[in-house]
Amino acid sequence: MRTIQVSHIEAFSSIPGKGNPAGVILEADHLSEATMQQIAYAVGFNETVFVLKTNLADVRLRYFTPGHEIKLCGHATMAALYGLKMRGLFEGKDSITIETNVGILPVQFEQHGSAWFMEMKQDQPQFIPFQGDVEKLAKAIDLTLEDLDLTIPVVYGSTGTWTLLIPVRRLSAFAKMKPHSSQFPSILAENPKSSLHPFCLETRDSDAMMHARHFSSPYSGTTEDPVTGTASGVMGAYYLTYVNREIQEADFVVEQGHEVGRDGKVQVSVRREQQGMDVRIRGTAVYVQEMSVEIDS
């Protein structure tokens, strides 16, 4: 057995225990892909991020759920960059680039008092219609058809990671949601490894415009992601594409995590461009602790 040190950093909150936890390995060049996967499984968070050297950007990031590698993860990006910033890297820099499996993405740093905020650009948004059974979909998260807002579409969306966006009528429905994850792949025939992201335009806090939960694909090895960066970004693109088609840009806050004892806030900024959209998310992070996990050598 080998012991690996992992930093536990939480994104989208400045209060330990209220954000989305990520495992962060800041010097991962010596680790094989198989070892990275073992570490992510042992850590058990929704994502563990590995920081590597690259000639193409300032850093390279790879993201693993306990079950598999994913192309992009918003909260783990925030956690990794916060960890690097707290180590004194990027001193004097207010912008860097990161290499990910969706390409090179820019990140900006901004300091407010003692808190650092990171803003990351996401991949171009993509949408695929959901053509499955909407009633079965609702039942898979313990809702009824009447709980859904079908005046706007249920669609798969991605700005780096695919999720199924499910509009919900009322905030009160979120407390009764319970994911039956094993049912997801058969319902999501077009994209069986997608996660589920129910959301609504009724919020708990007055500074937020959307409320959401995020239920993981069973292939990922987790059940629920408390505060989701990439899905919040694609919700911005969804808003301009399906909800408010007349405006050119939107800036708003997504709240998430209350049902699982968290209190996360993701700032979303989306702009129409000649080709596609510019989608960005912004948030802070907080260091929690060092962890030790054991893996097979």
Catalytic positions, written as ranges: 47
Q: Helix or strand or coil: residue 153?
A: coil
**Which amino acid does the sequence have at 233?**
G
Distance CA 297, CA 35 (A): 8
Structure tokens at 73: 């993860």
Structure tokens at 296: 């097979």
Q: Contact 183/154 with Cβ under 8 angstroms?
A: no
Beta-sheet strands, E only, within the chain: 2-11, 20-25, 47-52, 59-64, 69-70, 95-100, 103-112, 115-121, 126-129, 155-158, 162-167, 195-200, 210-212, 249-256, 264-272, 277-295
Spell out the residues 6+ positions from residue 160 whose beta carbon is closer than 8 angstroms to its own. Answer: 71, 72, 73, 100, 102, 122, 123, 230, 233
Distance CA 102, CA 274 (A): 21
